[in-house]
Amino acid sequence: MYAGRNFSACLFIKRFLVDKKLLKIVLINILCLIVLFVGIECYFYIDTANFYKNKMGNNYAKYTLKKEPFENKFNYYFKEVMRKPVGLNYKKKPILFLGCSYAYGYYLTDEETISYKISKKAKRPIYNWACSAGGIQHAYYVIDKMPKIEPEPEYIFYIYMKDHLIRMYENRHELDISEYLLYKIKDGNLEKIDNRYNFIDNSFFLSRIKKKILNRYIKSKKAHKTFIEYTNFLKNEIKEKYPNSKFVIVIYDYMPQELIEGLKKNNIDIIYPQESKKFDYNNEKYKLPKERDYWQHPSGKAWDVMSDILIKEFHL
């Protein structure tokens, strides 16, 4: 029976190679698919470029399917735009903030940021190592790579927002010439993924499809487990570098209850002002106006309230 199938397959291949008409049809179909894909890819590239240009006033980079190493971006961009420490003249132990553009204070002056407000109110040195468009993996990276703070911080606050779940898996900025920082868990360790040549993530069209899938996946128990594992890696890295520092996750907007319970079971300290109704992130006064910031990042008024909450809760 198998010999018969093999014989039939051989006849088909032979006929395919000899039959020029059939070969021509196949090649034309392949060419049409390539042209269609390139056309769709160009459309999504132009659409994305125009979106960033209209909403943010810039166009990040030329089209490329090959990304530069993340290390280049960290050394020549993140370190340059990172908020400078404030309150270094104060004698209390310092505090360190980690997170994304929320913690960084996107579109805010230095005086409007969470780091500046707590420094002035609590009379403390404050460091802000937040990376715009970052996630939990970026917090781990900066603790590992940045020079050690002396004296060590009394508290290290990681400001979480809901997009951090999907950022564990996706290529955040398609127009960025650098790869997005991604890790995988291998043999009990975090191993950086070489994402420079990732065709799916670097394709504008395919990355849109992937994001739709990820929006459902991040609600799963497996995704929540991965975030908890990443958080444990971050906590352990902090413990190794700053053994006396207290690590706390500050939930800015929303976190699934299952994930909250999982973090607590792993002895990870959290504070959730939204849950206790001490803070309502949906209030428009706590958001930047849309005409100024399309994504409506937190306003200075939001950090006025959050700074008071943290100072009171942790006796800063």
Closest alpha carbon to 133 in 167, 183, 174: 167
Is the pLDDT confidence value at 61 over 70? no
Q: Which amino acid is at 84?
A: K
Residue whose token pair is 């809901």:
162
Quick: pLDDT tens for 138-162: 999 999 999 999 999 999 999 999 9
Q: What is the pLDDT of residue 228?
A: 97
Quick: pLDDT tens for 82-119: 999 999 999 999 999 999 999 999 999 999 999 999 99
Q: Of how many residues is the chain composed?
A: 316
pTM of the model: 0.87
Query: 172 pairs with which residues across the strands?
Result: none
- The domain 74-313 having CATH identifier 3.40.50.261: the answer here is no
Q: What is the pLDDT of residue 33?
A: 87
Q: Helices 20-56 and 204-217, interaxial angle, to 10°?
A: 70
Tokens of 207: 């990355």
Closest alpha carbon to 97 in 71, 119, 73, 76: 119
- The count of other CB atoms within 10 Å of the CB of residue 26 is 12
285 and 312 Cβ atoms separated by less than 8 Å:
no
> Of 109-123, 196-210, 270-284, which one has max mean pLDDT?
109-123
Q: What is the pLDDT of residue 216?
A: 94
Long-range contacts of 311-314 (CB under 8 A, 24+ apart): 311/118, 311/121, 311/122, 313/271, 314/155, 314/246, 314/248
158 and 247 Cβ atoms separated by less than 8 Å:
yes
Helix (H) and strand (E) counts in the chain:
12, 7
Name the strand (E) or helix (H) holding 50. Answer: helix 20-56
Give me the sign of the Cα torsion angle 47, 49, 55, 57.
negative
Tokens of 53: 């240009």
